[in-house]
Chain A
Amino acid sequence: DGGITQSPKYLFRKEGQNVTLSCEQNLNHDAMYWYRQDPGQGLRLIYYSQIVNDFQKGDIAEGYSVSREKKESFPLTVTSAQKNPTAFYLCASSALTSGAYNEQFFGPGTRLTVL
């Protein structure tokens, strides 16, 4: 059963703590993405990666960090520097095919709440 998994589904964090959100895909996709979703604001891109050991900042990267040590995995760390981390976080992946414009496939999301 191919797809993208995110864990945990719900996460609670105390202020000042770092927390890592997991994202795994078995679609053999080269590109992976992290988005943040807030009510009424749509999706905003945090980081993305096109290849192992390489990643680029998106529109709202401050206070977040990522790694891409394996093709299947793209964990996101929300650091204590992120001033308003309570949000719904979505991971996505897509194939990178020369000349094609491929849709992104999304995981089920992680809802992070800072207490």
Chain B
Amino acid sequence: AQSVAQPEDQVNVAEGNPLTVKCTYSVSGNPYLFWYVQYPNRGLQFLLKYITGDNLVKGSYGFEAEFNKSQTSFHLKKPSALVSDSALYFCAVRDIYSSASKIIFGSGTRLSIRP
């Protein structure tokens, strides 16, 4: 079965420090991976995706993610955290058994940036 796991419910980082939000995946074949962010009482916003090509993917708001096939990971990173980055982050993988663009979401990681 296809799945993504976000092993940390919460990540706390001081403003200005680098941040990492972890994601591991389990899929058959090539993974198509996404990161989304959700601010309180709002819908999800797309940050970035990995389909093929460079293992380092750059996205919105200064975020990037590194695809690591050997470790089946797709961690989200940012060199210098901002208080405004505090939000709920979801990793997701495309459901390859679906003909539509169905994606399977992880359980989410709450990122808290302290001033």
**CB-CB < 8 A to B36: which residues of A?**
106
Please, could you name 8 A-B residue pairs with CB atoms under 8 Å apart, sorted by A?
A33-B102, A43-B44, A94-B100, A95-B101, A96-B101, A101-B51, A103-B49, A103-B101
Q: DSSP majority for the A interface?
A: strand
- Asked if B84 CB lies within 8 Å of chain A CBs, one says no
- Asked if A108 CB lies within 8 Å of chain B CBs, one says yes
**CB-CB < 8 A to A88: which residues of B?**
41
**A contact set with B: CB distance below 8 Å:** 4, 6, 31, 33, 40-43, 45, 48, 50, 56, 88, 90, 92, 94-96, 101-109, 111
12-63 of chain B: CB within 8 A of chain A: 32, 34, 36, 41-46, 49, 51
**CB-CB < 8 A to A96: which residues of B?**
100-101
Stretch of B66-74, B75-83, B104-112 at the chain-chain interface = B104-112
Q: Are B107 and A41 in contact (CB under 8 A)?
A: yes
A30 to B113, CA, bound (A): 38
Q: If the complex has contacts A31-B100, A101-B94, are A43 and B34 also in contact, measured as CB distance less than 8 A?
A: no
A88 to B36, CA, bound (A): 17
Q: DSSP majority for the B interface?
A: loop
CB distance from A54 to the nearest CB of B (A): 10
**CB-CB < 8 A to B106: which residues of A?**
42
A9 to B42, CA, bound (A): 10
Q: Are B101 and A104 in contact (CB under 8 A)?
A: yes
Q: Are A107 and B43 in contact (CB under 8 A)?
A: yes
**CB-CB < 8 A to A43: which residues of B?**
44, 90, 105
Q: Are A101 and B44 in contact (CB under 8 A)?
A: no
**CB-CB < 8 A to A107: which residues of B?**
43
Q: Are A101 and B101 in contact (CB under 8 A)?
A: yes
Q: Are A42 and B34 in contact (CB under 8 A)?
A: no
Partner of B108, one of A42, A50, A102, A105: A42
